[in-house]
Amino acid sequence: MVAFGLASLTAGLIEAGGEWSAPTIAAVIAGVGFLVAFVAIERRSPAPMLPLDLFRSRQFRGANLVTLAIYAGLGGVFFFVVVNLQASLGYSALESGAALTPATAVMLLLSARMARSLRRPALDFR
């Protein structure tokens, strides 16, 4: 249900692109409807897939907001670096994407190393 909601909402917002037609409005409304239905079902479920009580925790909300900010910034940096490489230096799309391969490899290696070093037991949210 949540996958349909996010997919429909994303597709509707991407397709809108400044012009709101009937299909894009329908996709956005369907996406919001699916997400509202997901929350309603999860609230009533005895064993929810996503315990909504997690969102009462200030630490959980804060960690998620910080993660959102970090990845939004990282996505913006990569987007503007690629645009800069294409506009200023005349790189093709393939060349500018390939120029970021070392940065991507370093992030992958560092994240794997950090994951091995943390080795903590899984959190139990019961």
Q: How confident is the model at residue 83 (pLDDT cuts 50, 70, 90)?
A: very high
Which of the four pLDDT bands, split at 50, 70 and 90, describes residue 36? Answer: very high
Contact criterion met (CB below 8 Å) for 87 and 81: no
Instruction: Please give the share of the chain, as a percent, with pLDDT higher than 90.
Output: 59
Helix H segments across 1-100?
A: 2-16, 22-44, 58-89, 93-99
pTM of the model: 0.60
Rounded CA-CA distance 105/103 in Å is 5
> Mean pLDDT over all residues of the chain?
88
Answer left, alpha or beta for residue 51, where phi above 0 means left and psi between -120 and 50 means alpha: beta
For residue 37, pLDDT over 90 is answered with yes
Q: In whole angstroms, what is the distance from residue 49 CA to residue 47 CA?
A: 7
For the chain, the domains span: 1-50, 55-126
